[in-house]
Chain A
Amino acid sequence: MADIHLDPDVLSALRDVMEDEFSTLIDTFLADSEQRLRQLTVAGDATQLLEAAHSFKGSSSNMGAIRLAALCHDLEQRSKERNLSGIELLIADITREFALIRPLYEDERTRAGSAIATVRPY
């Protein structure tokens, strides 16, 4: 079920690249995303919406949040086309998707910490 939301290959690559800093990366991403969500909900026009959606799409694709990235892509496209009717529903979808993946990332972070804890003694 979680596979649709998060790409396990990306996550394992990230863990590999970040080593000790994997949990910092996750914390940064989660904090970043909350800020993007706030920007989405207070956006005054299509341009602001577009910029926030574009950035959110970029970072979630880097983090392997496949579905979140796809939803942000839809939002970016509709903002570009000025097709804003019912856009609140799409933003709500994005909020919901983020709420869903957030605990999954927190789990990953914990696993990373324990993995390191088991490695460290050596």
Chain B
Amino acid sequence: MIAVQAALEPLTILIAEDSAADRLLLSSIVRRQGHQVLTAANGAEAVEAFRQQRPQLVLMDAMMPVMDGFEAARQIKALAGETLVPIIFLTSLSESEALARCLEVGGDDFLAKPYNQVILAAKIKAMDRLRRLQETVLQQRDQIARHHDYLLNEQRVAKAVFDKVAHSGCLNAPNIRYLQSPYALFNGDLLLAAFTPAGDMHVLLGDFTGHGLPAAVGAMPLAEVFYGMTAKGYGLAETLREMNAKLKRILPVDMFCCATLLSLSFQRQSVEVWNGGMPDGYLHSIASGERTPLKARHLPLGVLTPQTFDDRTEVFPMALGDRVFLLSDGVIDTCDVNDQLFGVERLQQVFAANRQPDALFEDIEQALRDFRGEARDDVSMVEISLLDPNLLSPPAPIYSDSGQSCPLDWSVSFEFRAATLKRFNPLPYLLQLLLEVHGLRTQSGALYSVLAELYSNALEHGVLGLDSSLKRDVAGFARYYQQRNARLEALEDGYVRVHLQVTPEGEGGCLVIRVEDSGKGFDVERVMARPVDPVRLSGRGVSLIRQLGRNAHWTDDGRSARVEFFWEALA
């Protein structure tokens, strides 16, 4: 007889055989091949031995007392579950019917008596290969399942972290409606909203190139810049420049972010827009029913160098109730079964057919479903309406310092000259300086609004000599901002001076703001004689200052403005 080599890895093999001589013989053969042997004299013993010791392979006699091999095989296969425990039937059965029954109950092979060592060794080897294969498949399946769970968990954690950042904003404000898939972040879609210190609202809808985690990572720094700079009172231009520079620096070349950034001013009733590579947004005038497209005039964020980046914005007047609608390319790039795009025309048909402005999202979604049969998961839409500012409640800023180092008796003067006026917005710095005075913090909104109005009056009407009466109508409004940009570009001399003086008064204190400009001045008496009129587009600045600050007055033919803020003892 040929000596058979021991298997590479010894197995534990259960031998179930009622004949003592056959059991002994088979045990010796299997042991000589290097395996461990368990024995059972009937089916019931075999099931019990399997239950307790989990052998990897079973040699099973078919005809046994107490419980036959067929029943034992069935029970062992059930106990083994997903694990493949090969069962080789030991049999001198010759009828095909009986052999078929062996397979039906889960048997994997046969071994005929008299036993042949070589064939037995080959069969054990073959069955062991099969067993290992199944084991590998199960391991890989479990590994894939674990990886999948891991990935989903990572996304959950990333989303949770991101939601903390994203929802530090004001997406839940009563004038915002938006629709985004829960995992839009992993489609690269990003929606942010926050109030400025003056109570304006900044909104960003962005769309990063790519999908999954890579598309989501850029969202974090972008959100940080957006919230940080908005809270400090920076305008769109500075915020855009910073976001572009940051993304340009950190993102790989083939990654960038299409974005629309808005600043909605409830007090000035206008919206300032910058659109870089996003689909057209729409400004919907409720009175006229007209929808003005907010077109992409720029390359996406993260493409151009800081030197070549263009931060020019457009300003549109709005009336109470007017809405700005922004959408991601998931809407218009939705394809039907024939690869036809949904497109802008179909979107405009939905606009035209829309009867209830509040049901616009639902109308668009329905149109997409009708077009495609199923909605895509990367559709983002947001609608912001211009509400009465009294209906909105910007959150009070949170300060972390204790107030021990609060400065109470000081003054400072700045002169900002032409080259600076062109490209630098001093307001965030001035505001931060003033907010070191704790008593002023509760009125930071009013303070910022007044400061912003004084500064823009000095710059636009004073230094640039723009006529505010231009803003009487919608067309003039646009012309006004075109002229503003053009004159600022060409500016060669002129200045704006800002004097701040803080003095303690009893337990409280007083702030005096003086702003002077190099312009021609204006007829103070005529402007002051005008009633405070919140509806007209022009002249809002002066009435705003008079409402929010104390003792506002103008001297030097309107070239010098002065306003005061007071505070009482802190609680």
A positions within 8 Å CB-CB of B: 10, 12-14, 16-19, 21, 24-25, 28-29, 31-32, 51, 54-55, 57-59, 61-64
Question: Closest approach, in angstroms, between the C-beta of B96 and any C-beta of chain A?
Answer: 14
Q: In the bound complex, what is the Cα–Cα distance between A52 and B18 (angstroms)?
A: 11
Instruction: List B365-411 residues whose CB lies under 8 Å from chain A.
Output: none
Q: Is the CB of B24 within 8 A of A62?
A: no
- Chain B interface, number of residues (Cβ within 8 angstroms): 18
| 6 pairs from A and B in contact (CB 8 Å cutoff) | A18-B25, A24-B24, A29-B21, A32-B19, A51-B63, A55-B19
Q: In the bound complex, what is the Cα–Cα distance between A64 and B19 (angstroms)?
A: 15
- Among the listed A13, A17, A57, A59, which residue makes an inter-chain contact with B21, where contact means beta carbons less than 8 Å apart? A59
- Among the listed A17, A57, A63, A64, which residue makes an inter-chain contact with B28, where contact means beta carbons less than 8 Å apart? A17
- Among the listed B21, B28, B32, B114, which residue makes an inter-chain contact with A10, where contact means beta carbons less than 8 Å apart? B114
Q: In the bound complex, what is the Cα–Cα distance between A58 and B21 (angstroms)?
A: 10
Residues of A within 8 A of B436 (CB): none
- A10-B114, A28-B24, A51-B63 in contact; A17/B1 too (CB < 8 A)? yes
Question: Closest approach, in angstroms, between the C-beta of B91 and any C-beta of chain A?
Answer: 8
Residues of B within 8 A of A10 (CB): 114
Question: Closest approach, in angstroms, between the C-beta of A22 and any C-beta of chain B?
Answer: 9
Q: In the bound complex, what is the Cα–Cα distance between A64 and B1 (angstroms)?
A: 14
Q: In the bound complex, what is the Cα–Cα distance between A29 and B19 (angstroms)?
A: 9
Instruction: List B3-57 residues whose CB lies under 8 Å from chain A.
Output: 18-22, 24-25, 28-29, 32
Q: In the bound complex, what is the Cα–Cα distance between A14 and B24 (angstroms)?
A: 11
- A55-B63, A58-B113, A61-B114 in contact; A25/B29 too (CB < 8 A)? no
User: Which of A17, A21, A51 is most buried by chain B, counting CB atoms within 10 A of its CB?
Assistant: A17
Residues of A within 8 A of B114 (CB): 10, 61-62, 64
Q: Is the CB of A32 within 8 A of B20?
A: yes
Q: Is the CB of B19 within 8 A of A59?
A: yes
Question: Closest approach, in angstroms, between the C-beta of B66 and any C-beta of chain A?
Answer: 12
Q: In the bound complex, what is the Cα–Cα distance between A10 and B18 (angstroms)?
A: 21
Closest to A14 in B: B25
Q: Is B180 engaged at the interface, CB distance under 8 Å to the other chain?
A: no
Q: In the bound complex, what is the Cα–Cα distance between A55 and B62 (angstroms)?
A: 10
* Residue interface bits B74-92, CB-to-A below 8 A is 1, else 0: 0000000000000000001
- What 11 additional pairs, Cβ within 8 angstroms, besides A14-B25, A32-B19? A12-B1, A17-B28, A17-B117, A21-B28, A25-B24, A57-B113, A59-B21, A61-B92, A62-B21, A62-B115, A64-B114
Q: In the bound complex, what is the Cα–Cα distance between A31 and B1 (angstroms)?
A: 26
- A10-B114, A16-B1, A17-B117 in contact; A58/B92 too (CB < 8 A)? yes
Q: In the bound complex, what is the Cα–Cα distance between A18 and B114 (angstroms)?
A: 15
Residues of A within 8 A of B28 (CB): 17-19, 21, 25
Q: In the bound complex, what is the Cα–Cα distance between A122 and B207 (angstroms)?
A: 87
User: Which of A12, A17, A25, A58 is most buried by chain B, counting CB atoms within 10 A of its CB?
Assistant: A58
Q: Is the CB of B63 within 8 A of A61?
A: no
* Residue interface bits B208-230, CB-to-A below 8 A is 1, else 0: 00000000000000000000000
Residues of B within 8 A of A61 (CB): 92, 113-114
Q: Is the CB of A28 within 8 A of B29?
A: no
Residues of A within 8 A of B19 (CB): 32, 55, 58-59
- A17-B25, A62-B115 in contact; A57/B92 too (CB < 8 A)? yes
Q: Is the CB of B1 within 8 A of A58?
A: no
Question: Closest approach, in angstroms, between the C-beta of A37 and any C-beta of chain B?
Answer: 14
Q: In the bound complex, what is the Cα–Cα distance between A29 and B25 (angstroms)?
A: 10
User: Which of B21, B24, B29 is most buried by chain A, counting CB atoms within 10 A of its CB?
Assistant: B21
- Among the listed B22, B32, B63, B117, which residue makes an inter-chain contact with A59, where contact means beta carbons less than 8 Å apart? B22
Nearest 4 CB-CB pairs, A to B?
A29-B21, A13-B1, A61-B114, A59-B19
Q: In the bound complex, what is the Cα–Cα distance between A108 and B272 (angstroms)?
A: 109
Q: Is the CB of A62 within 8 A of B113?
A: yes
Question: Closest approach, in angstroms, between the C-beta of B235 and any C-beta of chain A?
Answer: 94
Q: Is the CB of A25 within 8 A of B63?
A: no
Residues of B within 8 A of A29 (CB): 21
Q: Is the CB of B29 within 8 A of A17?
A: yes
Q: In the bound complex, what is the Cα–Cα distance between A118 and B63 (angstroms)?
A: 41
Closest to A25 in B: B24
